[in-house]
Amino acid sequence: MALILHAGKTNKNAFKTLIAAEYSGVKVELAPDFEMGVSNKTPQFIKMNPIGKVPVLETPDGPIFESNAIARYVTRLKTDNPLYGSSLIDYAHIEQWIDFASLEIDANILFWFRPRIGRAPYLPPAEEAAISALKRALGALNLHLASNTYLVGHSLTLADIVMTINLFFGFTQLMTKSFTSEFPHVERYFWTLVNQPNFKKILGEVKQTESIPPVQSAKKPAQPKESGKPKHKDEPKKEAKKEPAKPKDEAGMEEEEAPKPKPKNPLDLLPPSKMILDEWKRLYSNTKTNFREVAIKGFWDMYDPEGYSLWFCDYKYNDENTVSFVTLNKVGGFLQRMDLARKYAFGKMLVIGSEPPFKVKGLWLFRGQEIPQFVIDECYDMELYEWKKVDISDEAQKERVNQMIEDQEPFEGEALLDAKCFK
């Protein structure tokens, strides 16, 4: 009997087993015509896994559920499989990293992802906690990979397969380039592995997500205003007869307006600005010397006070910033959640002080004359800051802008703990 894996073709937990099988020379076939929500509800499937979850591996000796257990089983079918290392300590370290990949990486990615797609209640503090925990885990992984090509030893193991597939879900669904760039060794590790032939055979071409899924609105579709009573089947016909006939092109416009919750961004409807935001971001990124003379001067040459506005922000609860890494994670989380405004904004966030409590201050450039409403609505951090529009006719305020752009230290008489840029 062949090994049959019951799961959909895009199930990321099935990928662990399929890739392990490729490396181990074990034949595993996907169950034909598997349909999630149908196939896993049948009596035959429930006998294999009483809670109906996938994947499940059907073997000559009985079924196995739980994706890591399945991947382990397939790996052990090959005697002395290098995917399980060559010593007892290798085996222990492989199991250690499999647990880490599941409990620290995968779990926190799902805690972040599920509420955004409506699979769990969306609670901003819970999301911040999940992102903070994920960054902590990625930081630990990044540190390990700074001096290691693989998780265990000098060749690929099952731990690398499980870790890469859990990262795969994050890279393709949530973790944008601006998020993962904080972890360069994780990036190098991930892209190296997903481009190995056995990974590529299962995953195909992998592309990193460019945006975080928006929080699904809980609003219900608008109800017709005429009456709360249920309508008889023939009522719409009566309504149609009563209404005067419309010219064809007018009716066509009405049909097009239905899918038009877009110009989703009112900022796209503003008059064109002489300031090209991407040109400023490139100038900022590429200026390595003479920053004042090149980047700061270039900024004011480009700046369009009619098309853009500058804002200072000050964190309201600095007395709570008593632990440095928690404060840095707080700012990092804010910048991550601002990703939805990347096309319309540039920002600098400074964490100030050599000892706690640390102060958090920022400078933001926004398209338009006000802070965009969609940012206020979607990014809950906004209400944690006091916002003040910059008066560029005031030389003192203008100089403060300069100092924040160039990360001047000391800043307002204090050392900088860190400076982060949103661009």
C-alpha count within 13 angstroms, C-beta hemisphere, residue 406: 21
Least trusted range by pLDDT, from 8-17, 115-124, 228-237: 228-237
Rounded Cα gap, residues 305 and 274, in angstroms: 10
Tell me which H or E stretch contains 351: strand 345-352
Q: What is the mean pLDDT of residues 27-44?
A: 92
User: CA distances (Å), 315 to each of 20, 181, 367, in order?
Assistant: 48, 25, 22
pLDDT band at 288 (very low <50, low <70, confident <90, very high): confident
pLDDT band at 340 (very low <50, low <70, confident <90, very high): confident
Q: Give the pLDDT score at 381.
A: 85
Q: What is the three-class DSSP state of 419?
A: strand
Q: Give the pLDDT score at 264.
A: 60
Q: Give the pLDDT score at 11.
A: 94
Q: What is the mean pLDDT of residues 277-296?
A: 93
Q: With a cut of 80, say whether residue 245 has pLDDT above it.
A: no
Rounded Cα gap, residues 64 and 71, in angstroms: 10
Asked if 156 and 252 count as a contact pair (C-beta separation under 8 A), the reply is no
Instruction: Tell me which residue of 401, 404, 411 sits closest to 353, measured CA to CA.
Output: 411
Q: With a cut of 50, say whether residue 250 has pLDDT above it.
A: no
Give residue-wise pLDDT tens across range 126-152.
999 999 999 999 999 999 999 999 999
Q: Give the pLDDT score at 248.
A: 37
pLDDT band at 247 (very low <50, low <70, confident <90, very high): very low
Q: With a cut of 80, say whether residue 258 has pLDDT above it.
A: no
| Torsion (CA) 145, 148, 150, 151 in degrees, nearest 10 | -70
Q: Give the pLDDT score at 222.
A: 45
| ∠ CA 383-387-388, rounded to 5° | 165
Q: With a cut of 80, say whether residue 230 has pLDDT above it.
A: no
Tell me which H or E stretch contains 136: helix 124-145
Q: DSSP assignment of 301-323, as one string?
A: HH--TTTEEEEEEEETTGGG--S
* Residue 296 backbone class (left: φ over 0; alpha: ψ -120 to 50; beta: rest): alpha
Q: DSSP assignment of 201-215, as one string?
A: HHH-S----SSPPPP
What lies within 8 Å, CB to CB, of 418 at 6+ separation is: 328, 331, 350, 351
Q: What is the three-class DSSP state of 7?
A: coil
The residue count of the chain comes to 423
Asked if 6 and 40 count as a contact pair (C-beta separation under 8 A), the reply is yes
Top-confidence range, 249-258, 323-332, 349-358: 349-358
Give residue-wise pLDDT tens across range 70-79.
999 999 999 9
Q: Give the pLDDT score at 1.
A: 59
Domains and CATH numbers, the chain: 3-203 (1.20.1050.10), 270-422 (3.30.70.1010)
Please report where in the chains the tokens 């059907």 appear, as a residue.
Answer: 58
Instruction: Tell me which residue of 111, 100, 72, 233 sits closest to 164, measured CA to CA.
Output: 100
Asked if 135 and 182 count as a contact pair (C-beta separation under 8 A), the reply is yes
Q: What is the mean pLDDT of residues 81-100?
A: 95
Percent of the chain having pLDDT more than 90? 77
Instruction: Tell me which residue of 186, 158, 147, 51 sits closest to 99, measured CA to CA.
Output: 158
How buried is residue 55: exposed, middle or buried, by Cβ count under 10 Å (0-12/13-18/19+)? buried
pLDDT band at 218 (very low <50, low <70, confident <90, very high): very low
pLDDT band at 217 (very low <50, low <70, confident <90, very high): low
Asked if 387 and 276 count as a contact pair (C-beta separation under 8 A), the reply is no
pLDDT band at 238 (very low <50, low <70, confident <90, very high): very low
Q: What is the three-class DSSP state of 261?
A: coil
- In sequence order, the β-bridge partners of residue 311 are 364, 389
Least trusted range by pLDDT, from 95-109, 116-130, 181-195, 249-263: 249-263
